[in-house]
Structure 1
C-alpha cells in the first residue's frame, strides 16, 4: 500500500516527519518547484533553496526511502545556467521520484497578469521542447526511468496512485475539495473546511459537484490518460478495462495520428513515440 503526503519545504521539521512516519506515511512529496531564489519569488513561494535541500535531508534522516521532488519546467526569467543548476541539484540529491511539470498560468493570478501584459521572459515552444529533451536525457543518464510524460523514477519507485489515475482506475478523495472517481461517477467535496466539518457532524451531504461518466466518453478519457505512460496502452488490457476496443472507439483518428508520426503501434501496444512526447497535447486534443 502506498501512502503519500505533500509538504512545502518551509513547513516541515523533524517532529512533523516523525509523526508522519509513525502514522504510516511512507512516501513524501516535496514541492520544491525550482532551486532558484528569484524564480521562487516570482512564483509566490515562501521557501528558498536552502530550505528545499534541508527538507529533503530531514526526510531522508527520518527514514523516508520514497521521496518525490516536484519541479516546474520553463519557469520564466531563468538563464540556461540556472535551468541546468536545477537539474544538477536534483542529480546531487538523488530523490527516488521526480515530477517535472509545465508551469500553469491560472486565470486571475498576478503571474498570469504579468504574462498577459508581456512582463515575463518566456521560452518559445521550440526552446521548451529542447529543455524538455535535455532534462529527460540527463535524468535517464543517471539511472532514472522516464515512465510518464512528466514523471521520472528510480527502478520500482513509480508513483502507484498516479498510475491508477492514468489507467482510469477509481479512487476516493477525503477532505475539503477532494476529488473522487467511484462507481462510474466523478465528484468533488465542498471546499470550505468549516462547512465540511459541520456537514459531517450533521450527517449531511458533503459533495459539491457530481457527474456521471457515460461509457464512451469515459473510455476515450481513459485512453488519453493511459497514453501518458511510456509503456503505452495494450489492446487487450484497454478492452478489458473499458469494455470496448480501441478500434471500436475510434475510426480514422488513430490512423491519422499514426500517419503524422504522433502515435505508433508496437507489438499490439499503442503509444506516443519518445521524440513526440513534448507535443503530446496534440494527440490528446484529437482523441477526446
Structure 2
C-alpha cells in the first residue's frame, strides 16, 4: 500500500511539474514575449475554476486587472505601445466591477468595492506619473557643447596697393628704381618682368570690436525628439484610459453609496424591531407585576 501511494505521488508530481514551472516562468511575462500566451492561458483556466463561486470570481477578476496594470508599467518603461493592454485594463476592471455587484454578502461586497476603488486610484496615479514624465522628457531642450557664443574673427583691412607710374617720354624725369634684391644699377635680364612693388598706404585706424554679439553659425538648440514614434499614441490612449477608469470609479462609488443606504435602512429597520420587542417585553413585565399585586 505504501509503495502504491509513493508511485501515485510520483506520477502526480511528474504530471504537475511542467505546468508549475511554466506558471513561474511566465508569471512576469508581458505582451510580445514568447511566454506571454502561456501566462494568459493559465489565467483563463484559473478564472474558469474561480467562476464557480461569485466571491472568488469577483476577487480574481480584480487580480486580473492588477496584472494588466503591471504589464502596462513594464511596456511603458520599455517605450513600447500599450494601446491593446490599456483596452484590456478597462475591460477587465469593468468586468471586476460587474462581478462585485453580483456578490450577495453585503459585507464581502463592500470589502471588494473598497479594494477595487483603491486599485483604480493606483492605476490612475501610475498612468498620470508616466504621462507627466514623458511630457517633461519630450520638452527638455538639448544644449550642445558648441552652443556657447563665439567671437567673430576681426578682419583688418588689407593695405591698398600703389603701383608705380612709368615716366612719360620727353619729360626728363626718371622713375626711381624699385627697391629689390637686384641692387642699385643692376639691369634686369631680357625676358624677365619686374613685379610691381606695392607700397603700403597709411595704416587705417582699427576701431575696437563693438559689444554687440555677432551672430554665430551654430544652429539654435533643438528639442529632443520623442523616444519612440508610439509616444504620442500612448499619450492619447493613456488619457482615454484614465477618463474611462474614472467613470468606473464613479459607478463603484454610487454602488457603494446605494449599498450603504440599503444597509442603513436595514439597520434602522432592525433597530426599530428590537425597540418594539423591548417595549413589548417591558409591557408584559409590567402586566405581570400588576397581576401579582
TM over 0.5: no
Q: Relative to total residues, which structure has the larger strand share, 1 or 2?
A: 1
Q: TM-score scaled to structure 2, two decimals?
A: 0.22
Q: TM-score scaled to structure 1, two decimals?
A: 0.22
Q: Relative to total residues, which structure has the larger helix share, 1 or 2?
A: 2
> Which has the greater radius of gyration?
2
